[in-house]
Structure 1
Amino acid sequence: MKLKNATTYTLQVKGNISSSTIRRLKASESVSTNTLDALCAILNCCIDDVIAYLPDQPNSITE
């Protein structure tokens, strides 16, 4: 957001993202794929610029 000079106000107005969703983003809580799509559109970026997968625990399926 800093690189794009975007604020949370920008997300709310341009992306129609609610304040509760912004709170969830700041708290690293789950958000919908629609929200991720809106973020990418607003910031003109790719999904991997916005998210990263960090597993909670090791994958027990491959062990």
Structure 2
Amino acid sequence: MVSYEPLWKTMKQKDITTYTLIGKYKVLSKTIYNLKHNKHITTATLEKLCRILECTPNDIIEFTNEPQGKK
């Protein structure tokens, strides 16, 4: 399953908030919702986040063996 846990760590390290993503970088609030709930995002969104955070996809997304919604 998909987890965006690395994203939250990367954002914290770079001192970027979800409000910054929405306000400054025009990331849709629906996209933030999807990220917070480990739901689908497009590869274009993944690429945009990589550019904003100056990182690689591995700094944003990881795959786990846990079913979605379980932690």
> What is the aligned-residue RMSD (CA, Å)?
1.7
Q: What SS does structure 1 have at the residue aligned with 2:27?
A: coil
Q: Which residue of 2 aligns with 1:60?
A: none
Structure 2 gaps of 5+ residues are 1-10
Seq. identity, %: 42
Q: What SS does structure 2 have at the residue aligned with 1:25?
A: helix
Structure 1 residue ranges (4+ consecutive) displaced by more than 4 angstroms after TM superposition: none
Q: Over alpha carbons, which structure has the higher Rg?
A: 1
Of structures 1 and 2, the one scoring higher in RCO (CA 8 A, sep 6+) is: 2
TM-score by length of 1: 0.77
Q: Which residue of 1 aligns with 2:57?
A: 47
TM-score by length of 2: 0.69
> Offset at 1:55?
4.5
User: Which structure shows the bigger proportion of residues in strand conformation?
Assistant: 2
Q: Which residue of 1 aligns with 2:45?
A: 35
Distance in 1 (CA, whole Å) between partners of 2:24 and 2:52 is 7
Distance in 2 (CA, whole Å) between partners of 1:3 and 1:10 is 14
Q: Which residue of 2 aligns with 1:24?
A: 34
